[in-house]
Amino acid sequence: MSIQLALDGVSRSFDGFKAINELSLTVEKGELRAVIGPNGAGKTTMMDIITGKTRPDTGSVMWNQTIDLTEQDEAGAARLGIGRKFQKPTVFETQSVEDNIALSLAGERSVWASLFHRRSPAEATRITEILELVRLEDQRSDQAGDLSHGQKQWLEIGMLLAQDPELLLVDEPAAGMTDAETMRTADLLRDIAGKHTVIVVEHDMEFVRALDCRVTVLHQGHVLAEGSLDHVSANPEVVEVYLGR
């Protein structure tokens, strides 16, 4: 198996506070990985660094062992094949559900390509497939802003699928979902993994258990433990900083 993403000695501080401290982390292609940790452990900053939003002070973030992601901006990272789902569902509220998917669909992103873009039959089919998968085909022409919280989560997952990224970064997907929805999300993420690499940041232990994957525990911007959920749960340090609370 080849390495998808390798963070090596990454640090980043904000106003003297070290959000990320000598973080090293390797994720293999097609892997499903859960990242857990208490508030302020640096999970969001880590994702910001991987997606080109934040530049680290030191360290390297290698993509497919060849490209240094610290030199990319958000659009650059997205074009390389990194998709991101936010904790708070962020969809284009004044546009239709269908247009949200259409905007996310993989393809040329330049100004000219967008100006003269005509939707191909293949793209139309793909949009319908995705809407069916996330069960929003009936809401196709509704304004995305009118969807329920859970539906927005699904729409955003649909947008990620449309983007067809090599790596998906998913921030607390289960937040605000019902138990049934949570389990369906876990199933979906397990399905996606393999074809895509998936990193899930999550608080909900039930959800992480349902993912049934390798777990990385972050604490104060550093990796505290790594392994199966049972393995890290047995680690006394982890229990102290996180699970025991």
Partner 1 sequence: MGLIDRRMGIFLAGLFVLTVAIPYGNLAMSGQPVPSYVVSLLGKYLCYALLAVALDLVWGYCGILSLGHGAFFALGGYAMGMHLMREIGDRGVYANPDLPDFMVFLNYEALPWYWHGFDMFWFACIMVLAVPGLLAFVFGWFAFRSRVTGVYLSIITQAMTYALMLAFFRNEMGFGGNNGLTDFKDVLGFDLQSDVTRAWLFGLSGLALAAGLLIAKAITDSKLGKVLIAVRDAESRTRFLGYRVEEYKLFVFVVSAMMAGVAGALYVPQVGIINPGEFSPANSIEIVIWVALGGRGTLVGAALGAILVAGAKTLLTGWLPEVWLFALGALFVLVTIFLPKGVLGLIEGRQKGQSASRERAAARADGVDLEVRPEELRGEEVKS
Which residue ranges make up the site for partner 1 (CB under 8 A)? 14, 44-45, 48, 51, 53-54, 73-75, 78-79, 83-84, 86-88, 90-95, 99, 102-104, 109-111, 114-117, 142-143, 145-146, 159, 163, 171
Nearer to partner 1, 88 or 231 (CB): 88
CB of 5 to partner 1, least distance (A): 16
Nearest-approach distance from CB 236 to partner 1, in angstroms: 31
Instruction: State in angstroms the smallest separation of the CB of 74 from partner 1.
Output: 4
Tell me how far, at minimum, the Cβ of 86 lies from partner 1, in Å: 6
Q: Which is nearer to partner 1, 84 or 214 (CB)?
A: 84
What stretches of the chain adopt beta strand conformation (E)? 3-14, 17-28, 32-36, 58-63, 67-68, 82-85, 167-171, 197-201, 214-219, 222-227
Q: Which is nearer to partner 1, 78 or 213 (CB)?
A: 78
Q: CB of 105 within 8 A of CB of 163?
A: yes
Q: Is the CB of 80 or the CB of 210 nearer to partner 1?
A: 80
Tell me which residue of 165, 223, 233, 245 sits closest to 43, measured CA to CA: 223
CB of 156 to partner 1, least distance (A): 9
Distance of CA 147 to the CA centre of its chain: 21
- How distant, in Å, are the alpha carbons of 51, 78, 217 from that of 56? 11, 18, 20
Distance CA 177, CA 214 (A): 23
